[in-house]
């Protein structure tokens, strides 16, 4: 049967898909728009499943501190920076954030309801990339402040003991820039310390110095490392003449906790040669 241009246009507006795909769906459904949408949704699940194995290392970080009982940081990934700026992708991330805000105690698995997962799959079909709601973190505290970097690739939440918006925002921005591992040296995980000590010992092992000197060198370098990765000992990025501990002391405040997300951190990207990439595109 003949499919009119207006029918194709209407289906495109409802689904956000390409003209040829909408025309084909209408032809297969004999012009029945509802049946065409149903078939496209079924096909969407199949296409989304195909793309789910592709690595999503781009994306954005979002934060919300409006509710002190549930300040939240969330990372949502896609495959390319181009899609990370796409309006449809950004609208979806806002909906995910809203869902997380309304259900603070639920895990991501529980939050990914049929409705939200259906929308994710539809978006995968529309933009042609894998979409992953990767992780979220909640802080329940009275005074939480956030910082999202301009490119939305880095996000921070920091909780203070007392209300001080200027201090909170300054420290959140500093954490984004300096990436401390903990608030103080005492809070750095033992496995991190052991690994760094092992590296330092290997670095000084070729030295012709005595064992006593080597131990002092190792101890000194380890102390320097702990200071460099501890928030309170770091020079403030906006004024390196001051340490974060100075800012906190001068404001009669303290940092209770913080969390820093960076898009794609910790994700291993599978390397393929050009021929494999072309074959993968043809398979899809």
Phi, psi torsion values for 204, nearest 5 degrees: -95, -5
3-state secondary structure of 4: coil
- The answer on pLDDT for 284 being more than 70 is no
Model confidence band, residue 113 (pLDDT cutoffs 50, 70, 90): low
Model confidence band, residue 280 (pLDDT cutoffs 50, 70, 90): low
Provide the pLDDT for residue 117: 82
Region 41-45: mean pLDDT is 66
Encoded tokens for 130: 């894998």
- The answer on pLDDT for 273 being more than 60 is no
Matching fold, domains 5-51 and 53-140: no
Model confidence band, residue 22 (pLDDT cutoffs 50, 70, 90): confident
What fold does the segment set 53-140 form as a domain? Tetrahydropterin Synthase; Chain A (3.30.479)
Give the residue with greater pLDDT, 45 vs 33: 33
Residue tagged 């529309």 (tokens): 126
Of 63-77, 142-156, 207-221, the one with minimum mean pLDDT is 207-221
- The answer on pLDDT for 260 being more than 80 is yes
Region 256-280: mean pLDDT is 75
Bridge partner list, 243: 235
- The answer on pLDDT for 245 being more than 90 is yes
Region 131-149: mean pLDDT is 93
Give the residue with greater pLDDT, 268 vs 57: 57
Domain 5-51 part of CATH 1.10.8.10 = yes
Percent of the chain past pLDDT 70, that is, above it, reads 87
Give the residue with greater pLDDT, 135 vs 22: 135
- Span 165-179, pLDDT tens digits: 999 999 999 999 999
- Average per-residue pLDDT in the chain? 87
| CB-CB contact of 176 with 154 (8 Å) | yes
Give the residue with greater pLDDT, 257 vs 40: 257
Model confidence band, residue 147 (pLDDT cutoffs 50, 70, 90): very high
- One DSSP character per residue, 20-64 reads HHHHHHHHHTTT-HHHHHHHHHHHHHHHHHHHTTS---EEEEEEE
Segments making up each domain of the chain, as ranges: 5-51, 53-140, 189-228
> For residue 46, how far is the Cα from the chain centroid?
26
- One DSSP character per residue, 255-276 reads EEEEEEEETTTTPPPPP--HHH
- The answer on pLDDT for 192 being more than 90 is yes
Contacts of residues 142-145 at CB distance under 8 Å and 24 or more positions apart, as own/partner, are: 142/68, 143/68, 143/168, 144/65, 144/68, 144/71, 144/168, 145/65, 145/169, 145/171, 145/172
- The answer on pLDDT for 281 being more than 70 is no
- Span 76-104, pLDDT tens digits: 999 999 999 999 999 999 999 998 888 87
């Amino acid at each position: 049967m003949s499919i009119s241009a207006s029918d194709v246009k209407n289906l495109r507006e409802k689904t956000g898909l390409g003209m040829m795909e909408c025309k084909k769906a209408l032809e297969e459904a004999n012009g029945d728009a509802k049946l065409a949408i149903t078939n496209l949704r079924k096909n969407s699940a199949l296409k989304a499943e195909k793309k789910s194995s592709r690595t999503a290392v781009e994306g954005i970080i979002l934060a919300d501190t409006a509710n002190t009982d549930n300040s939240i940081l969330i990372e949502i990934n896609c495959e390319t920076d181009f899609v990370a700026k796409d309006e449809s992708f950004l609208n979806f991330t806002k909906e995910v954030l809203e869902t997380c805000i309304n259900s603070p105690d639920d895990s991501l698995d529980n939050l990914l309801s049929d409705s939200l997962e259906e929308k994710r799959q539809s978006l995968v079909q529309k933009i042609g990339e894998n979409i992953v709601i990767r992780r979220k973190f909640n802080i329940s505290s009275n005074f939480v402040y956030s910082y999202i970097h301009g490119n939305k690739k880095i996000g921070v939440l920091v909780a203070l003991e007392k209300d001080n918006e200027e201090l909170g925002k300054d420290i959140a921005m500093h954490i984004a820039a300096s990436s401390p591992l903990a608030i103080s040296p005492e809070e750095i995980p033992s496995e991190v310390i052991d690994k760094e000590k092992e590296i330092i010992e290997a670095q000084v092992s070729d030295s012709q110095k005595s064992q006593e000197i080597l131990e002092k060198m190792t101890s000194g370098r380890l102390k320097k490392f702990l200071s460099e990765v501890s928030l309170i000992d770091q020079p403030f990025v906006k004024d390196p003449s001051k340490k974060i501990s100075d800012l906190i002391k001068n404001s009669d405040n303290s940092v209770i906790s913080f969390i820093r997300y960076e898009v794609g951190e910790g994700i291993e990207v599978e390397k393929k040669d050009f021929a494999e990439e072309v074959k993968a595109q043809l398979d899809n």
